[in-house]
Amino acid sequence: MGRVSLSGKVAVITGSSRGIGKAIAIDLAKQGVSIVLNGRNQERLNEAKLAVEKIHTKVITVCCDISEKGAGKNLIKTAVDHFGKLDILVNNVGVSNRGNVGEVDPEVFEKVFASNLFSAVNPTITAIPELRKTKGSIVFISSLAGIRGIPGMSAYCSSKMALRAVAESIRLEEKANNIHVGLVFVGITQIEHNKEAISADGSMQILEKRDGKKGVQSMEYVAGVVTKNIQKRKFIYTLTGIGKLNSFMQARFPMLVEKIILKNLHKFEERRQ
């Protein structure tokens, strides 16, 4: 299938006040898409809005914690009330964790699942009836950590794997309604300053900068892949050569993958930063 024009479409991108979500909003705006930005901090949202307004003025912000019950309904309803329809929902909100299972406070799993699974399910439930009308798209932003469980990030890995199950179910349920469902497995990407992850004790820790590090993708590149996924109405896209290899090997030779990881445990320790 060729690329579908996105001009005149309306998109909600959760967690789009900074990082990859903001880059996706900017990339979609360049395609002529009206944008609904979301985040928990109004100042950050205002900055992101200014960035989109350099492209066009069809942008609004909805400040809410999308992991909370009711927030998804409010976000989608605000988008439809303002722009008259919904064509695209990008479920981008997500947070990572650090710490082996034997060390983490159980609250870590609750926080990570709230952020990564409930933040995606909440808006999706209200969005589906709207997307049936427009034969629109739902895209879930996953991670290479969602392909197999890796050490020190079990809550993150399991929450991203749960997204795959949700995406697969919706594809079957909504096939007859022509809703496109995308699932993008993102590799290690540049981060904004002060990006946080959840530590083993449940507190937030600031991640080290990744500027200049080998194998780190730009946010703009990831955003371009997401736009292409929507235009081509594809299901799964896995970023990076390593990601594609990992996905192939995990499906066919999982025990070999385990052996390779065990031999390289020190590299996983380093990457947790």
Using CB under 6 A, list all residues that contact ligand NAP.
14-21, 38-41, 44, 65-67, 92-94, 115, 119, 141, 143, 186, 188-189, 191-192, 195
Catalytic residue among 9, 119, 156, 237: 156
Q: Which of 13, 23, 110, 107 is nearest to 62 (CA)?
A: 13
For the bound state, the minimum distance from the C-beta of residue 37 to ligand NAP, rounded and expressed in Å, comes to: 8
Q: Is residue 232 annotated as part of the catalytic site, yes or no?
A: no
For the bound state, the minimum distance from the C-beta of residue 94 to ligand NAP, rounded and expressed in Å, comes to: 2
Q: Is residue 244 annotated as part of the catalytic site, yes or no?
A: no
What is the distance in angstroms between the CA of the first residue and the CA of the last residue of the chain?
Answer: 40
Q: How far is CA 237 from CA 6, 31, 63, 185, 244, in A?
A: 19, 20, 29, 6, 9
Catalytic residue among 34, 96, 137, 142: 142
**Residue 40 or 234 with smaller CB distance to ligand NAP:** 40
For the bound state, the minimum distance from the C-beta of residue 7 to ligand NAP, rounded and expressed in Å, comes to: 25
Catalytic residue among 34, 96, 160, 237: 160
Q: Is residue 156 annotated as part of the catalytic site, yes or no?
A: yes
Beta-strand runs (E) in the chain: 10-13, 34-39, 59-63, 88-91, 137-143, 180-186, 196-198, 204-206, 236-238
In angstroms, the CA 145 to CA 157 distance is: 5
**Residue 178 or 218 with smaller CB distance to ligand NAP:** 218
Looking at the annotation, which residues are catalytic? Answer: 142, 156, 160
